[in-house]
Homo-oligomer: A and B are copies of this chain.
Amino acid sequence: MNFTGLALAEGPETARIRAFLDGAGVDGGRGGAGGTVTLPVGDDAAAFRPPRGTQVVVSCDASVEGIHFRREWMTWETIGYRAAASALSDLAAMIATPVGLVVAAALPPELDVEIAAALGRGVGETASRVGAEVLGGDLVASPGPAFLDVTVLGYAANPTTRCGARPGDELWVTGELGGAAAALRDLERGLEPDPRARRSFDRPRPRIDEALWLGERVEIHAAIDLSDGVMRDAQHLATASEVALEVEAELLPAAPALDGFRRSPAGERLLLGGGEDYELLLAVPARAMRETKRAFADAFDLPLTRVGSAREGKGLTVRGRVDSALPAGFDHFEVGR
């Protein structure tokens, strides 16, 4: 069905929600790896059966136009993709297998129905990448900016928390950092970002497969996803685990977009303070990654880097910084003012 040219307010409610959910590929998806969906979207609720002996893991992530995204900076597919990736990244941080997600959107009624479909497609693209099904959705009118909330559901025999880091643990990071922040900085300045940075920003990969792979091979004491930047999120991990963390700035794996200026204050700020790369920070026993690092790089074509360690005490220390001023990190409410 082609809805192009029809504003959201003009069509019947079912056609709107249908366009949104069809976009998300509700009947598609490669299906959860073991959590069987027993009742798909379409009734008052959906249902699934988690594998025996597992716990259900749940998290949500909201984003708002003008605060978390701008229509001028990205397509509606990208807006949907990023919202779902951000939420699914929390399942990666729990080393949980995704089952599905539920997505609520509020859109201005004058928008074309095709926009609801595009938003749904973006959400569905992320979901199908990690084997999650779209289990439900709500689409309502907004008299202001567009809103999006994605709730993700998965399972794990024993979810990994932020709390288990121990003195002596090593800190490791998946992938590269600062790429998404570099793209965002350019967009804010009206510049076209470096294509690789743009890709990190538009299509961040929730590290689900990587997390599950590592969880099978290494004893992971604690994990967090780097949604707010390594500076902030390492601090969260230190607080939750009641340990002191030390990160070596020079060890941090910088995205190629930072080539040539990673040791400048501006580059370091992106590297330490830039979030939305959705890489993982892991605390593992000393030397636990020795046999694993190479195999990980081979399996995922992605670096896995030791960046620091935990010891008795509290708080976060970043060694070898160029600029000792702490980046504030990202506060949506400050941006929103």
- Scan A35-48; emit 1 where CB is below 8 A from any B CB, else 0: 00011001111111
Tell yes or no: A176 within 8 A of B by CB: no
**A333-B102 in contact given A47-B94, A140-B64 (Cβ < 8 Å):** no
A157 to chain B, nearest CB (A): 11
- The residue in chain B whose Cβ has the minimal distance to the Cβ of A142 is B64
Does any Cβ of B come within 8 Å of A292's Cβ? Answer: no
Q: Does A335 contact B (CB under 8 A)?
A: yes
Please tell me if the beta carbons of B44 and A102 are within 8 angstroms of each other in the complex.
no
When the two chains form their complex, are residues B151 and A60 in contact, meaning their CB atoms are under 8 A apart? Answer: yes
B136–A102 CB distance below 8 A: no
- Is A224 close to B, CB under 8 A? yes
How does the 8 Å CB contact mask read for A275-303 relative to B, with 1 for contact and 0 for none? 00000000000000000000000000000
Chain A count of residues within 8 A CB distance of the other chain: 77
Q: From the candidates B57, B109, B223, name the one contacting A333 in the complex (CB within 8 A).
A: B109
In-complex Cβ contact of A56 among B48, B52, B144, B224 (8 A): B48
- Distance of A295 Cα from B123 Cα, bound (Å): 47
Q: Is A161 an interface residue (CB 8 A)?
A: yes
A149 to B83, CA, bound (A): 14
Question: Chain A, 123-163, contact with B by CB distance < 8 Å: what is the 0/1 string?
Answer: 00000000000011110111111010101111010010111
Is A318's beta carbon under 8 Å from chain B?
no
Which of B142, B162, B334, B337 contacts A144, CB < 8 Å? B142
State the Cβ distance, A278 to closest chain B Cβ, in Å: 11
CA A42 to CA B240, docked complex, whole Å? 9
Whether A60 touches B147, Cβ cut-off 8 Å, given contacts A39-B161, A161-B39, is no
A258 to chain B, nearest CB (A): 26
- Which listed residue, B135, B142, B149, touches A145 by the CB 8 Å rule? B142
Encode A60-92 as 1/0 by CB contact (under 8 A) with B: 111111111000000000000000000000110
Judge if A251 is at the interface, Cβ distance under 8 Å: no
Binding site for B on A (CB under 8 A): 8-9, 13, 16, 38-39, 42-50, 52, 54-68, 90-91, 93-94, 96, 100, 102-106, 108-110, 135-138, 140-145, 147, 149, 151-154, 156, 159, 161-163, 223-225, 240, 331-337
What 15 additional pairs, Cβ within 8 angstroms, besides A45-B152, A60-B103?
Answer: A9-B333, A9-B334, A13-B331, A13-B333, A43-B94, A44-B90, A44-B223, A45-B154, A47-B56, A60-B136, A109-B333, A140-B332, A141-B335, A143-B336, A147-B147
27 A-B interface contacts by CB (under 8 A): A13-B333, A16-B333, A39-B57, A43-B94, A44-B90, A45-B93, A47-B55, A48-B56, A50-B50, A50-B56, A60-B137, A60-B151, A62-B104, A62-B140, A62-B147, A63-B140, A64-B140, A64-B142, A65-B143, A66-B143, A141-B335, A143-B336, A144-B144, A144-B145, A147-B147, A147-B149, A149-B151
